[in-house]
């Protein structure tokens, strides 16, 4: 993201500059790549303790994607697939499954993974892709800032400020494979209060071979109120309801069914105070609830009930201090209560499972010399299953110049087991294990980020080595004809490799973004060893033509890999997408018409399972603003 920084309080968002010279008005007006997710401090990419990829609005539009997980194909090292249970699998450098449980996913600072099984229900997030301002993806463990589940990375989705979307906006898409959607949004303001309200509905049928259809209705509200020159309150409210249909018409154990209902809601409020030019603090509370109502009969009139409900209440305090002209820090505390109430298929004869968790965290940025930046951080977390864990990180950045920086870092992260992994019980399928320990990763990396002015080229590279221990996996503990699974800390993995991102703008009308990752995994489990493609490549080209025309093309090439926890070994594929759009004004109001083609090479590749075939399709979109 490149955003304009202006105003007297902007100094709070600026990092300590390389030069000790006094800041001028020009410093506030230049474009700076600033991110928040690496350390909870706003920093330019050359100062961060971890590699960060920014997916901005231009990339979102040019990609033609309509589903948020698809956007992660634009990040080096990420693998993305739609599964056979109406959800998405997202992985980074291996250990990818249908639950995305080893990454922290945030929407405006609110964690959206479900505590019962650890998954992220991407399909019914009450968030339109058109309401996203940008996404910050931290590539690598970041538990020092965000705790458990920031095991391999952080995906931080930041939505648009109401001031960015004033007035009425309507859009719609219609296309093949029964894929279409509609959005109506209004942004307004009165006095010191500004707001936006979005109502939208999406219909999806993902695969060519069988039904994986969803119909999701969503409401999303964000309001911001300036209580004074120093105090602000932000409120987010979301509601989602979905109907799912999936299965195979000729499979009696996985029949087509359309009686699955899912959804969720959240309420989030944040108070922020800027005490002075050196200090600000915030207090945030949010409540989330997600549910799934699903049951069906298998041969023998045996009812399988997958019904479940997840909830979370979270209170977080955060303080940011500028201690002197060389040192800044952020610290805070968090308390969380969460639980799951699921059918006896998952927790046989048990009541709802609940747990309380507490966190203390701190991150400091220190610049002892003009060219050196030291970032240190630690998270102390008391989990209801595993007790106290500490996740430290230390990073040293050397600035060759304001535009070129080298980084070396080492850190440790944990992933706490979920309610189901510890206490899941069914006499015919799985047994609980109360002795599970958290998964642990020790991560080391060397990185370089720079901007070559003569070529207008941005380079971001990362060499990494992740030592993962105590990986939770299941094994059959019943010697008889039935199969009863139980989870154990049974595996390890050593993950090494490199990823690189290039952003090139040879002329003002053309952008090219290229990503490449090379990964090698040694593990005690063959599935884990093959859970990442050895080579992963993507490219997105954007061309702005005269008279409002825009053209873009995306190429996504993924090698052979194994999706763990029930997935198949899927073959390598190359997917090619393209988009053509035109913007103009009708009676003074902006209009955009676009056409998007996906998988134009018609390779019909497999996602997660070899029977999940995605083939060529297209859709047309239109939007109006008034």
What does the DSSP 8-state code read for residue 528?
H
Structure tokens at 248: 């195979």
Give the integer Cα–Cα distance in Å for 452 and 117. 45
Total residue count of the chain as it appears in this document: 626
Under a CB-based contact definition with an 8 Å cutoff, are residues 353 and 343 in contact? no
On the question of pLDDT at 605 being above 60, the answer is yes
On the question of pLDDT at 589 being above 90, the answer is yes
On the question of pLDDT at 18 being above 70, the answer is no
Mean pLDDT of 171-185: 92
**pLDDT per position as a tens digit, 451-484:** 999 999 999 999 999 999 999 999 998 877 778 9
Of 517, 524, 429, 570, nearest to 53 (Cα)?
Answer: 517
Q: Is the dihedral of CA 100, 103, 104, 107 positive or negative?
A: negative
Measured distance between the N- and C-terminal CA atoms of the chain, rounded to whole angstroms: 26
Residue whose tokens read 């458990």 = 148
In this predicted structure, what is the pLDDT of residue 201? 94
Give the integer Cα–Cα distance in Å for 333 and 322. 19
pLDDT band at 306 (very low <50, low <70, confident <90, very high): confident
On the question of pLDDT at 556 being above 50, the answer is yes
HEC letters along 40-65: CCCEEHHHCCCEEEEECHHHHHHHCC
pLDDT band at 171 (very low <50, low <70, confident <90, very high): very high
3-state secondary structure of 304: strand
In this predicted structure, what is the pLDDT of residue 247? 62
In this predicted structure, what is the pLDDT of residue 330? 97
Stronger pLDDT, 392 or 305, i.e. the higher one = 392
Give the integer Cα–Cα distance in Å for 134 and 122. 17
CATH value at residue 152: 2.40.170.20
- Which secondary structure element, helix H or strand E, spans residue 473, and what is its range? strand 457-476
**pLDDT per position as a tens digit, 333-388:** 999 999 999 988 899 888 899 999 999 999 999 999 999 999 999 999 999 999 99
pLDDT band at 249 (very low <50, low <70, confident <90, very high): low
On the question of pLDDT at 185 being above 50, the answer is yes
Percent of the chain as helix, strand, coil, to the nearest 5: 10, 60, 30
On the question of pLDDT at 128 being above 90, the answer is yes
Structure tokens at 224: 């911001």
**pLDDT per position as a tens digit, 271-292:** 999 999 999 999 999 999 999 9
Stronger pLDDT, 536 or 211, i.e. the higher one = 536
In this predicted structure, what is the pLDDT of residue 297? 67
In this predicted structure, what is the pLDDT of residue 253? 54
Give the integer Cα–Cα distance in Å for 546 and 558. 34
On the question of pLDDT at 32 being above 70, the answer is no
In this predicted structure, what is the pLDDT of residue 251? 56
Give the structural domain span for 359. Answer: 3-625
On the question of pLDDT at 30 being above 60, the answer is no
On the question of pLDDT at 250 being above 60, the answer is no
**pLDDT per position as a tens digit, 405-448:** 999 999 999 999 999 999 999 888 899 998 999 999 999 999 99
CA 25, 29, 34 angle in degrees (round to 5)? 120
The pTM of this model reads 0.92
Total tally of structural domains belonging to the chain? 1
Give the integer Cα–Cα distance in Å for 17 and 307. 53
In this predicted structure, what is the pLDDT of residue 290? 95
Q: Is the dihedral of CA 489, 438, 446, 31 positive or negative?
A: positive
Give the integer Cα–Cα distance in Å for 255 and 522. 38
In this predicted structure, what is the pLDDT of residue 258? 59
Under a CB-based contact definition with an 8 Å cutoff, are residues 564 and 125 in contact? no
Mean pLDDT of 192-221: 89
Mean pLDDT of 1-21: 35
On the question of pLDDT at 94 being above 80, the answer is yes
CA 604 to chain centre: 26
Mean pLDDT of the chain: 89
Of 331, 442, 462, 415, nearest to 51 (Cα)?
Answer: 462
In this predicted structure, what is the pLDDT of residue 611? 87
Give the integer Cα–Cα distance in Å for 276 and 16. 17
Of 63, 64, 95, 66, nearest to 78 (Cα)?
Answer: 95
Q: Where are the beta strands (DSSP E) in 57-163?
A: 78-82, 88-92, 104-107, 110-111, 132-139, 153-159
């Amino acid at each position: 993201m490149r955003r304009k920084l202006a105003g007297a309080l902007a100094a709070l968002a600026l990092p300590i500059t390389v030069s000790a010279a006094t800041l001028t008005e020009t410093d506030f007006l230049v474009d700076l790549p600033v991110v928040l997710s690496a350390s909870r401090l706003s920093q330019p990419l050359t100062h961060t303790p971890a590699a960060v990829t920014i997916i901005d609005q231009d990339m979102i539009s040019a990609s033609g994607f309509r589903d948020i997980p698809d956007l992660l194909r634009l990040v080096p090292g990420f693998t993305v697939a739609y599964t056979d249970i109406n959800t998405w699998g997202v992985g980074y450098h291996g250990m990818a499954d249908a639950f995305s449980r080893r990454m922290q996913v945030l929407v405006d600072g609110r964690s959206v993974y479900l505590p019962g099984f650890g998954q992220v229900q991407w399909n019914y997030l009450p968030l339109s892709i058109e309401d996203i301002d940008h996404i910050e993806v931290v590539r690598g463990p970041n538990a020092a800032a965000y705790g458990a589940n920031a095991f391999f990375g952080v995906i931080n989705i930041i939505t648009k400020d109401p001031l960015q979307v004033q007035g009425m906006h309507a859009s719609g898409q219609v296309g093949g494979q029964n894929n279409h959607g509609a959005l109506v949004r209004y942004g307004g303001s009165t006095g010191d209060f500004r707001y936006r309200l979005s109502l939208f509905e999406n219909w999806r049928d993902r695969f060519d071979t069988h039904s994986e259809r969803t119909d999701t209705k969503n409401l999303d509200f964000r309001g911001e109120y300036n209580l004074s020159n120093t105090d602000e309150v932000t409120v987010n409210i979301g509601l989602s309801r979905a109907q799912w249909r999936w299965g195979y018409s000729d499979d009696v154990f996985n029949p087509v069914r359309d009686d699955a209902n899912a959804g969720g809601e959240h309420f989030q409020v944040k108070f922020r105070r800027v005490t002075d030019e050196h200090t600000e603090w915030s207090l945030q509370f949010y409540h989330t609830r997600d549910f799934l109502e699903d049951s069906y009969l298998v041969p023998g009139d045996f009812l399988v009930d997958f019904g479940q409900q997840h909830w979370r209440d979270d209170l977080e305090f955060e303080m940011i201090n500028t201690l002197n002209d060389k040192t800044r820090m952020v610290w805070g505390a968090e308390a969380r209560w969460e639980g799951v109430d699921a059918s006896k298929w998952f927790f046989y004869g048990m009541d709802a499972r609940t747990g309380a968790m507490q966190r203390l965290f701190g991150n400091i940025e220190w610049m002892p010399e003009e060219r050196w930046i030291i970032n240190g951080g630690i998270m102390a977390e008391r989990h209801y299953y595993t007790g106290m864990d500490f996740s430290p990180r230390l990073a040293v950045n050397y600035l060759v110049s304001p535009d070129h920086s080298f980084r070396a870092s080492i850190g440790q992260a944990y992933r706490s087991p979920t309610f189901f992994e510890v206490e899941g019980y069914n006499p015919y399928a799985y047994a609980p294990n109360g002795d599970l320990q958290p998964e642990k990763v020790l991560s080391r990396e060397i990185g370089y980020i720079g901007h070559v002015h003569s070529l207008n080229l941005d380079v971001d590279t990362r060499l990494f080595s992740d030592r993962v221990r105590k990986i939770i996996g299941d094994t059959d503990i019943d010697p008889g004809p039935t199969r009863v699974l139980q989870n154990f800390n049974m595996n390890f993995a050593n993950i090494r490799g490199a990823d690189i991102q290039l952003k090139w703008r040879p002329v003002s009308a053309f952008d090219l973004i290229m990503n490449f990752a090379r990964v090698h995994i040694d593990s005690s489990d063959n599935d884990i060893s093959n859970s990442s493609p050895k080579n992963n490549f993507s490219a997105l080209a954007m061309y702005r033509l005269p008279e409002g025309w825009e053209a873009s093309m995306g190429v996504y090439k993924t090698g052979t890999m194994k999706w763990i926890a029930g997935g198949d070994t899927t073959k390598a594929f190359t997917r090619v997408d393209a988009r053509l759009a035109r913007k103009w004004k009708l009676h003074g109001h902006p209009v955009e018409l676009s056409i998007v083609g996906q998988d134009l090479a018609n390779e019909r590749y497999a996602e997660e399972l070899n029977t999940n075939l995605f083939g060529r399709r297209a859709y047309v979109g239109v939007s109006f603003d008034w």
